[in-house]
Amino acid sequence: MIRQYELVEKVKSYDPDVDEDIINRAYVFAMKAHGSQKRASGEAYFSHPVEVAYKLTQYRLDAASIVTALLHDTVEDTDVTLDSIEASFGKEIRGLVDGVTKLSRLEGKSENLKQAENFRKLLIAMSEDLRVLLVKLADRLHNMETLSHIKNPEKRQRIARETLEIYAALAERIGMRNIKEELQDLAFTELYPEARESIVTRMQFLREQGAAEVEKTKEVLREKLAAAGLGNATIQGREKKPYSIWKKMETKKISFEQLSDIVAFRISVDTIAECYQALGVIHAEWHTIPGRFKDYISTPKSNGYQSIHTSVLGPAQQRVEIQIRSHDMDEVADYGLAAHWSYKQGANAGKDGKKMRWIRELLEILEQSDNPEEFLENTKLEMYQDQVFCFTPKGDILAFPRGATPVDFAYGVHSGVGDTCVGAKINGRIVPLRTLLKNGDQVEIITSKTQTPSPSWERFVVTGKARSEIRKHIRVSQRTEYITLGRAILSKTFKQEGEEFIEKMIEPHLPHFNKKTVEDVIAEVGEGVISRQQVFEVVIGQKKPLPPSGVTSMLSSLSNPFRRKKAEAGTPMPIKGLIPGMAIHYAGCCHPIPGDRIVGIVTTGKGITIHTMDCETLENYSDSPERWIDVAWERDQNDATNIGRLKVNVSNETASLATVTNVIARENGNISNFKIINRSMDFFEILIDVEVRDVRHLGNIIANLRSKAVVQSVERWQT
């Protein structure tokens, strides 16, 4: 465990004028507060906050951040209160500790709700002071380093997945690559140990085989740059991390052998002008790979990252990825936000959190979201995706996740532009709103004051901001529909019994319905959550048998597109956009599963057939648009019997089929059909039907199969 004087000396090494007293007092305060508490590893609990504080010294953070790290668990895990922290250390430290402390009194809530509530609190705190986020990331990093001591495997998996989806994404957002990669690798080790081990083993083999080639390439680069007057350049060869390789195999749908950039070469120079000079030297010497050039210096990433990326056919006629940046850009790439401000900014450090666009957008999502879990879902969409850069007609640059559409762009400009969007031009040409944006597109949004958001937009937008705004509009429209329908139902019901319905009659009975307003009660009558008979009996104070109202029932189910599906109606329909009771079946040609973009086709004698949007069979219906139905998966659809068909090409060697089936089994997939369709001396070609939960589950299976040396290729298959 780091000792008191070691921590103080570490801070003094970069801040000689630091207030040693406050760090010493915080060290002793936290040690006494945690007392004899132990961690799951058996170590003294106090070792954890000390390690978190020491990690922050690597980023040269101010004394307030170090003190917050020492105290961050005292309020949550001991009898210490925020008032006592303020009395001992001041208001600033109280605010930082409060921001890092998890919400209490969440017993009985689901893990998803706890996670969502805690993330909401963290977001609000870090919008006020970004040092809260830095302490939280260091806290999570040390927790992940000691994760193996937790005995419950389900808890370890939950923590690891949360780390990948939230904390690694947050580290990426503020440009802290080192922490991001450490968090990803630790989570990867827990979630997919076999896939990671396979990648590490193969990387070790390549490292041994290609060490001489890497040094030769570095030497050639050094000679060429020196000849051009760039003898001051430093050159490093850097391996991609196992998780980064696995993720690329998954997203690009390629095997390990097809990766061309497992080792990237980084050239660091003094100035921006020298960056472009080095680029000219490299492009003049070697052929470039089309589509593999990115200039993040002229167009920085939203987290401040700047660099030039290019790929060339290098000295040995092999693909070589090269990154070119200045020494200052190097520091930002490694330390991100912490490279811009540290102890020198003292109490003002991090106070401009709301000025960062991505935090403002997350706060907007928070305001629009109806519940914490929805907010967390939209936030994950917003944070954790690769980006494309597009231009407004005035030349401003906006960054969006890959897969973004003009509707996402419209909401990225302003919520008012998104709400009134009726069309879009990309590079001067009118395009459908579903069109995917590409790097460098110039997008112009066409608006109309009479336009309102379409519920169908939710099915293709990818940004959390767009989705939250559309859902907000849907909720408002839904509530209006419910209230109108509820008033009509109650008026008719009371009239049939010789009573006049007056809304104020419900006011005294609001506690009975556990509602705050009369409109809340009326809306739930329209929705079908509260029955008309229940309202009549409570308000009038007597029971009267009410006749069934076929008209009311019909209006409720057909006129109200937002009507909630009742549990007693049987298994909920897994598809949105269809009339309840309509016969559906899934196309055997494309095997759609939850997560796929889908479309319904009216089929004679079969009802509705569900296809994936990229199914080749759909070409047969291009001349019959009246048969197409816009549908989507229900959000809570978790049926474990969805069939995904895979085509796998494996080496014809001992235990290769066992490797394939073991991977599928370990990922909780169930093989329902297995067929060898082609066989040669060297390879087997196999079709495998796998029962999975959704497209993400299938994607994990595919990625893990690709990590195996015996698997040459794997892809989803359509017949």
Q: Which residues partner with 649 through β-bridges? A: 685, 713
Only one residue has tokens 């004394």, namely: 63
Is 76 catalytic? The answer is: yes
Under 8 Å between Cβ of 628 and 621 = yes
Provide the residue type at 678 as one letter.
N
Q: Are 546 and 533 in contact (CB under 8 A)?
A: yes
| Residue reference for tokens 């994404």 | 169
Maximum Cα interatomic distance, the chain, rounded to a whole number of Å: 99
Hey, CA dihedral for 606, 612, 616, 620, is it positive or negative?
A: positive
Copy the structure tokens of residue 633: 């998966």
Of residues 180, 91, 87, the one with CA closest to residue 133 = 180
Q: Which two tokens stand for residue 316?
A: 């040995």
Active site (annotated) includes residue 520? no
108 dihedral zone (left: phi>0; alpha: psi -120 to 50; beta): left
Residues 6+ apart with CB under 8 A from 65: 56, 96, 131, 134, 135, 349
Catalytic position from the list 43, 77, 334, 685: 77
Contact indicator for 105, 137 with CB cutoff of 8 Å: no
Catalytic residue among 9, 76, 219, 630: 76
The SS3 of residue 154 is helix
CB atoms within 10 A of CB 187: 25
Look at residue 421 and give its three-state secondary structure.
Answer: strand
Query: Any idea of the CA torsion for 706, 712, 715, 718, to the nearest 10 degrees?
Result: -160
**3-state SS string for 543-560:** CCCCCCCHHHHHHHHHHC
* Cβ contact 518:510 at 8 Å: yes
Return left, alpha or beta for 319; rule: phi > 0 is left, psi -120 to 50 is alpha, else beta.
beta
Q: Residue 532 has which token pair?
A: 């008309």
Alpha-carbon span 286 to 316, nearest angstrom: 11
Start-to-end CA span in the chain (Å): 61
Q: Residue 657 corresponds to which tokens in the numbers above? A: 């089929």
**CA dist., res. 223 & res. 204, Å (int):** 28
CA–CA gap between residue 590 and residue 715 (Å, rounded)? 12
How would you classify the pairing of strands 584-586 and 607-612?
parallel
Tokens representing 707? 């990590």
- CA distances to 318, 524, 585 from 278, in Å: 20, 67, 58
Query: Torsions phi, psi of 426, nearest 5?
Result: -115, 120
Q: What is the DSSP string of 296-348?
A: TTTS--TT----EEEEEE-TTSSEEEEEEEEHHHHHHHHHTHHHH-SGGGGGG
- Nearest by Cα to 175 from 139, 130, 143, 144: 130
CA angle 112, 116, 118 (to 5 degrees): 120
Q: Which of 411, 527, 416, 417 has the alpha carbon at shortest distance from 480?
A: 527
Alpha-carbon distance 64 to 72, whole Å?
Answer: 12
Smallest Cα–Cα separation from 265: which of 314, 196, 199?
314
The amino acid occupying position 271 is T
- How wide is the angle at C-alpha 451 spanned by C-alphas 445 and 454, nearest 5°? 90
Place of tokens 């009239």: 495
Catalytic residues: 76-77
